[in-house]
Amino acid sequence: MLVVVVGPMFAGKTTELIRRVERQVIAGRRAIVFKPSLDARYDASKVAAHNGLKFDAYVVPPDETGVEAIYKLGFEYDVVAVDEIQFFPPSLAEVLDALASHRVVIAAGLNLDFRGEPFETTMRAMAYADKVVSLTAVCKTCGRPATRTQRLIDGRPAPRDSPRILIGGGETYEARCRRHHLVPK
């Protein structure tokens, strides 16, 4: 079974991934959690949610080498979880699908970048998923459900030509609803 948890930043994706893994561990299943090496915001060796929740992780590079490691090591466990899937190459989606044939696979990641454009790896994983859990955050502007991630530079929306990937937290990003998500040209 493949479960893909998606949404904007601050929606609780990592918290949901950890919750689901912990339930599997309580049920007596052996689990491994992977995270990309470039995400060391809160803890370099654990998946870590913005709310402080953490879980031990196997850190892999966010490239084909990391995808291969997930594939090889994943077959040794009953449960395989991967956080921040948007940072991995699209080939990760096929690996998650293959692993899901005989084990529980839980993946979490952003569905859209700061421009509001889909991440290909997340989209592909969603297509293979047995279940997609789409979470929302709270818009920092109006309080409505937020489905977008707003990148800020000096408190203002980042321009469209900014780099697609920039690791950060509350100092760099906000959750926004569709109405208040802005991408200057």
Residues with active-site annotation? 84
Q: Name residue 118's beta-bridge partners.
A: 112
Question: What is the length of the chain?
Answer: 185
Q: What 3-state class would DSSP assign to 139? A: coil
The token duo for 24 is 């599997």
- Residue 92: phi and psi, rounded to 5, are -60, -35
130 close to 100: Cβ distance less than 8 angstroms: yes
DSSP state of 179: T
Token pair 């990309």 is found at 36
CB 93 within 8 A of CB 124: yes
Phi, psi for residue 44 in degrees, rounded to 5: -70, -25
β-bridge mates for residue 117, sequence order: none
Per-residue DSSP letter, 169? -
